[in-house]
Structure 1
Amino acid sequence: MMVFKVLQLLVLCLVSAVSSTNRTTFVDFVSTCLNGRYQKIKPGPEADLFNQCKPWKDRSCCTQETSEGLHTSEPWLNFNWNHCQQLSPECSKHFIQDLCFYECSPNVGPWLVPVNMKIRNEKFMHVPLCESECTNWWNACKYDFTCLPNWGGGKGFNWTTGQNTCPSWSTCKKFSEIYTSSSNFCETVWNYSWKVVPETEPCMHIWFDGSTGNPNDKIALEKAKEVANSLIG
Structure 2
Amino acid sequence: MFSTRLLALVSLCALVSTKEHPDLLNTCFDARYHKDTPSPEEELHGQCAPWKDRSCCYYNTTKAFHDSDVWLGFTYNHCGPDHSLSETCRQWFNKDMCFYDCSPNTGPWIVDNVIRIRNERFMHVPFCASQCNAWWEACKNEFTCHDTWGKGFNYSTGINTCPNGKICRPFAEIYENDATTFCEKIWYYSWKVVPDDQPCMKIDFTGKNPNDDVTKFYAGQRSGVLG
TM-score range, shorter chain: 0.7 to 0.9
Aligned counterpart in structure 2 of residue 215 of structure 1, from 186, 192, 210: 210
> Could you list the runs of 5+ residues in structure 2 that have no partner in the other structure?
1-18
Identity over aligned pairs, percent: 50
Give me the TM-score of the superposition, normalised by structure 2: 0.87
- Check whether the contact 2:199–2:217 (CA below 8 A) recurs between aligned residues: no
Residue 107 of structure 1 is matched in structure 2 by: 105
Summarize the alignment of residues 80-95 of structure 1 with structure 2, pairs less than 5 Å apart. Answer: 80-84=75-79, 85-95=83-93
Q: Does 2:160 correspond to 1:164? A: yes
Q: Deviations over 1:176-230 (max 9, x none)?
A: 0000200000000000000111111110001200x3x000000001111222343
Please identify which structure carries the higher helix content. Answer: 1
> Could you list the runs of 5+ residues in structure 1 that have no partner in the other structure?
1-20
Aligned counterpart in structure 2 of residue 40 of structure 1, from 24, 35, 38: 35
For these two proteins, the number of residue pairs brought into alignment is 206
Aligned counterpart in structure 2 of residue 56 of structure 1, from 51, 55, 62: 51
CA positional deviation for 1:58: 0.4
* Aligned equivalents of 1:228, 1:168: Cα separation in 2: 45
* Aligned equivalents of 2:122, 2:182: Cα separation in 1: 17
* Aligned equivalents of 2:96, 2:33: Cα separation in 1: 15
- Check whether the contact 1:101–1:207 (CA below 8 A) recurs between aligned residues: no
Q: Tell me which stretches of 4 or more aligned residues in structure 1 moved more than 4 Å.
A: none
* Aligned equivalents of 1:228, 1:122: Cα separation in 2: 21
CA positional deviation for 1:22: 1.1
* Aligned equivalents of 1:109, 1:83: Cα separation in 2: 31
Residue 16 of structure 2 is matched in structure 1 by: none
* Aligned equivalents of 1:217, 1:167: Cα separation in 2: 38
- Check whether the contact 2:69–2:76 (CA below 8 A) recurs between aligned residues: no
SS in 1 for 2:29: coil
- Check whether the contact 2:88–2:138 (CA below 8 A) recurs between aligned residues: yes
CA RMSD of the aligned region, Å?
Answer: 1.3
- Check whether the contact 1:126–1:194 (CA below 8 A) recurs between aligned residues: yes
Q: Deviations over 1:109-130 (max 9, x none)?
A: 1111001111011111000100
